């Protein structure tokens, strides 16, 4: 068990307007490499924010300030034992390649509620984009700027 240090925001890196299911994510992450997956034991995210703003739990956790071994997801190499990860469906333009903030109005509202509630419960936990921990475009928006816009200054 480790103290929770980060909430990492992600995108699924899928085309704008394309819904993603929990089964899609499980298949992408846990299928064998030979079958097109990553071969991980666990998915990369705790929660998924759908296009309609609904939030689906992918990996259970006990909602405390620690990351227990059974709560670890594979969202950012080197940070997983001290992080929770939330992902929104989208993050690429219609071409499926160009990074783009594709959050729908419903996703923006859901992410705002999710992050502000998380920050209220765990004010010492740093909220970051995946791109702050790895050389990636994910989550395809400026997390620092967005946090300030919703009243969170870290």
Determine the structural domain holding residue 52 and report its residue range.
2-149
Q: Does 35 fall in a domain? A: yes
Work out how many domains the chain is built from and give that number.
1
CATH assignment of the domain containing 139: 3.40.80.10
Within a domain: 83: yes
pLDDT tens for 25-84 read 999 999 999 998 899 889 999 999 999 999 999 999 999 999 999 999 989 999 999 999
Lowest mean pLDDT among 31-40, 97-106, 108-117: 31-40
Question: What one-character DSSP code corresponds to residue 51?
Answer: T
Asked whether residue 154 is assigned to any structural domain, the reply reads no
- Residues whose CB falls within 8 Å of the CB of residue 34, separated by 6 or more in sequence, listed in order: none
pLDDT at 2 over 90: yes
pTM above 0.85, yes or no: yes
- Looking at residue 37, its pLDDT comes to 86
Task: For the chain, give the mean pLDDT.
Answer: 95
Under DSSP, the state recorded for 113 is H
Cβ atoms of residues 130 and 9 within 8 Å? yes
Helix, strand or coil, per DSSP, at residue 9: strand
Find the helix or strand (DSSP H, E) in which 8 lies: strand 6-11
């Amino acid at each position: 068990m480790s103290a929770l240090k980060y909430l990492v925001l992600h995108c699924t890196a899928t085309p704008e307007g394309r819904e993603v299911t929990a089964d899609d994510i499980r298949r992408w992450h846990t299928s064998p490499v030979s079958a097109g997956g990553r071969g991980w034991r666990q998915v990369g995210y705790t929660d998924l924010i759908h296009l309609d703003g609904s939030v689906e739990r992918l990996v259970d956790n006990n909602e405390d300030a620690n990351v227990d071994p059974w709560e670890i997801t594979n969202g950012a190499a080197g940070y997983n034992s001290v992080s929770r990860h939330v992902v929104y469906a989208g993050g690429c333009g219609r071409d499926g390649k160009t990074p783009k903030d594709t959050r729908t109005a419903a996703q923006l509202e859901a992410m705002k509620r999710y992050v502000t509630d998380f920050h209220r419960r765990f004010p010492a936990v740093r909220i970051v984009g995946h791109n702050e921990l790895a050389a990636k475009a994910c989550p395809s928006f400026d997390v620092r700027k967005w946090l300030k816009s919703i009243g969170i200054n870290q």
